[in-house]
Copies of this chain bind each other. A is one copy, B any other.
């Protein structure tokens, strides 16, 4: 059932494009407009059927019922400032950025009906060329309302994600950024660093273990630099605590303390079981 008349997606990369396709598949909008810095992206998004109409500039937001901000996180606030005077009164605005505290605090003040969102449905593959509307099926979508969030808009946004196929989890922007520093940004730091650390001449001896452990270092360096910087303080803390755990393991190895080594690995092993 249609929830919106006109939807505008700004940033038609992997997430924006896949979301457009999912909205089409579920028939949640009458018409979808798409806009991107990269003309190639929007043309491809249209060809694939993720959007109906390619926008030329930010004026396409006029008359929209839902605006989805799906650019890298550091571009979102700029765009928000540029479109704020063009929206109709009841237009709902969501973003899908990987960090929330800064974005939500600003956009809460810029828009009347803003709801911060973060679908945990990314991939190391980027660009609309890799879009798949199925990436949202059974994935978690984090929604980060505050006391300033309009209740009606929040209800509709929750409903929207559930119809897309996601499981909605509500979390504060602050807690979101602390958690994601650990569960997403730190693993990316670790994977990029591992890849940097391994001498190139040994790569031909790599096994599936190395391949899996470093898969996400195939993620876009530009995008992930922006994500890291947008969650700098939380990520620095996460790295520091990781460094101290690594030093403990190293010390046990140095001291040939087999008992302690097994104990350290067992804690990880048991926690990993819970991940499934």
Residues of A within 8 A of B (CB): 120-124, 140, 142, 169, 171, 178-180, 182-184, 186-200, 202-222, 224-226, 228-229, 232, 235-236, 238-243, 245-247, 249-250, 253-254, 256, 258, 261-262, 264-269, 271-276
Q: Which residues of B contact A242 (CB under 8 A)?
A: 193-194, 197
Across-interface contacts of A124 in B (CB, < 8 A): 209
Which residues of chain B have C-beta atoms less than 8 A from A215's C-beta?
Answer: 209, 212-213, 272
- A236–B250 Cα distance when bound, in Å, is 7
The residue that A271 contacts in the complex, of B140, B198, B267, with Cβ under 8 A, is B198
Contact A224 B187 (CB under 8 A): no
Give A262 Cβ to nearest chain B Cβ, in Å: 5
* 16 A-B residue pairs with CB within 8 Å: A183-B206, A183-B207, A187-B213, A191-B209, A192-B265, A193-B268, A196-B264, A197-B242, A206-B275, A213-B213, A215-B272, A217-B271, A218-B272, A218-B273, A221-B269, A236-B250
Give 19 A-B pairs besides A212-B215, A213-B214, A235-B253 with Cβ atoms closer than 8 angstroms. A121-B207, A122-B209, A169-B205, A179-B205, A180-B205, A182-B199, A182-B202, A183-B210, A184-B210, A190-B213, A196-B264, A197-B245, A213-B213, A214-B275, A215-B272, A217-B265, A225-B265, A229-B256, A240-B250
B120, B206, B219, B266: the one contacting A269 at CB < 8 Å is B219
**B contact residues around A218 at 8 Å (CB):** 269, 272-273
Known contacts A228-B261, A243-B246, A253-B232; A207/B275 CB under 8 A: no
Report how far A268 CA is from B228 CA in the complex, Å.
15
- Would you list the 10 A-B pairs with minimal beta carbon distance, nearest first? A221-B265, A195-B268, A192-B268, A197-B242, A225-B261, A179-B202, A187-B213, A221-B266, A209-B216, A120-B207
